[in-house]
Chain A
């Protein structure tokens, strides 16, 4: 089993961190993982993206032509990656960041209003964790247990009190994602 994922959005939305948490969660479950960021100036305001591969077998290329799952958080990302989802694959988009919704009918399209939910939770920083929750609801690449372990491992101890808030955001994300 191998899942090839692209996560794309504006720099500062937590795209790279989301990918990192996902990769660490895979590590916690003894899977093979590769995390490949776009490391250019896009990190500082343009479109940032990261490819995450979670697999039972060793991973070959960190650079891909097509993806099983695309998570797009703004319009330019949707336009870039909608054509690159494998037929039968999954596309998840944030309802606030994307104005013109996807048009393909040979893939499963999900909408998650994560930006609105984060505003409702009065914490814009949990935005990416809401999206991650949505992903795990429709494509359980890693378990919630693995995710929690990854957070414990990657966050410095002084931030451990924030883990429950992050897990809550994941739960919210699982609830609000809907298939179109």
Chain B
């Protein structure tokens, strides 16, 4: 029936629909602008009456993340969402999950900071998302959707990656993608996994011990430094495997381009328009969009950039991803940054102007 129906909805609403459809066992969250439609839509759709998915408004973000820790520890597909200040509160839990190798999914619909900041869109949590965010040597997988369709598609993808690697995964979106409405085809319905399936897929999970095995212990604590070092080495090896296998990106109009704009998420949508406008003025520009922010497509950016005259990193922050691009390009060509701050979203013309001023002169 309605499986293939084209619908019109907000990015936040798409996440709620997708969560139910990809067999999520539980959502735990606390409302905050600009992502409250996620929990609102879940409350409206009442999945507990259909798939049995739990939807719970926790008393705080700190509580939600620890509920995620518990759910993931039992091998369940559990999800939380928030916006920047709320995600900041969750960092302790995310670090613990990375340490205990738990597969949870977090959605950050970013707003401007620092502190409580503004409710308007921003991409200023790039460092927090890609550098770990909490304490210790760890990484979370970070996916950056640039459309309402990707908001929906990335929920299942984030779960798949999280369980494949037993690692937290984050969807890093922002107020633009969360609030805008676009056409979307919802993903097909996938049933929640049965207890038996979870036991098979997650032999590490703490879900009641049968007589045939020793207890599973879920913890990030290890007081013997020799053992802890081995654990860290294991994590680093896992991150290396992820870096080798899970890089995702997209290019547009790059073949004949003299200059490249590198942007992610909503900034990449604005960048697409900037490419159209620049080409109308006879400037040959292409767009490179990292889809995974960690692992970052460093090799791919270097490969593309070396034959070009310069790179403009356009992001809605004071210059964060530009550091990764500069590390990737390593001085081969000039790399400049353009961004607006505090909840101001740049328009496409500003980006073309920045390109001319900073690179073409």
Contact = CB atoms under 8 A, between A and B. Distances in A.
Interface string A18-57: 0010011001000011111101110000000000000000
B181 A65 contact: no
Given A60-B269, A62-B180, A66-B349, 11 more contacts: A23-B181, A27-B8, A34-B181, A35-B180, A36-B176, A36-B181, A61-B274, A63-B346, A63-B347, A64-B273, A65-B348
B131 interface: no
Contacts of B345: 63
Interface residues of B, number: 27
B160 interface: no
Interface of B: 6, 8, 33-34, 119-120, 175-176, 179-183, 266, 269-274, 276, 345-350
A40 B119 contact: yes
A33 B8 contact: yes
Nearest to A51: B180
B33 to A, nearest CB: 7
Nearest to A36: B180
Interface of A: 20, 23-24, 27, 32-37, 39-41, 59-66
7 contacts: A20-B181, A36-B176, A37-B179, A59-B182, A61-B274, A64-B273, A65-B350
A20 B180 CA distance: 11
A33 B272 contact: no
Contact of B183 (A33, A41, A62): A33
Contacts of A32: 183
Contact of A60 (B8, B33, B180, B272): B272
Nearest to B346: A63
User: Which 10 residue pairs spanning A and B have beta carbons closest together?
Assistant: A61-B273, A60-B272, A65-B349, A35-B181, A65-B347, A60-B273, A36-B180, A61-B270, A39-B179, A27-B8
Contacts of B181: 20, 23, 33-36
B179 A36 contact: yes
A61 B273 CA distance: 5
B128 to A, nearest CB: 23
B348 A61 contact: yes
Given A39-B33, A39-B119, A60-B272, A34 B348 contact: no
Nearest to B182: A34
B269 A39 contact: no
A119 to B, nearest CB: 31
B32 to A, nearest CB: 13
Given A20-B181, A23-B181, A33-B8, A63 B270 contact: yes
Nearest to A153: B8
Given A23-B8, A32-B183, A34-B180, A60 B276 contact: yes
A27 B185 CA distance: 12
A61 B272 contact: yes
A55 to B, nearest CB: 11
Contacts of B346: 63
A23 B270 CA distance: 20
A23 B184 CA distance: 13
Nearest to B33: A39
A60 B277 CA distance: 11
Contacts of A59: 182
Nearest to A34: B182
A39 B33 CA distance: 9
A24 B6 CA distance: 11
Contacts of A36: 176, 179-181
Contact of B8 (A24, A41, A64): A24
Contacts of B276: 60
A59 B149 CA distance: 13
Contacts of A41: 119
A40 B179 CA distance: 11
Nearest to A35: B181
Nearest to A31: B183
Given A60-B269, A61-B269, A33 B182 contact: yes
B266 to A, nearest CB: 8
B347 A64 contact: yes
Contacts of A65: 347-350
A155 to B, nearest CB: 14
Contacts of B272: 60-61
Given A23-B181, A27-B183, A32-B183, A63 B6 contact: no
Contacts of B183: 27, 32-33
B348 A64 contact: yes
A63 B8 contact: no
Contacts of A35: 8, 180-182
Nearest to B177: A62
A65 B273 CA distance: 10
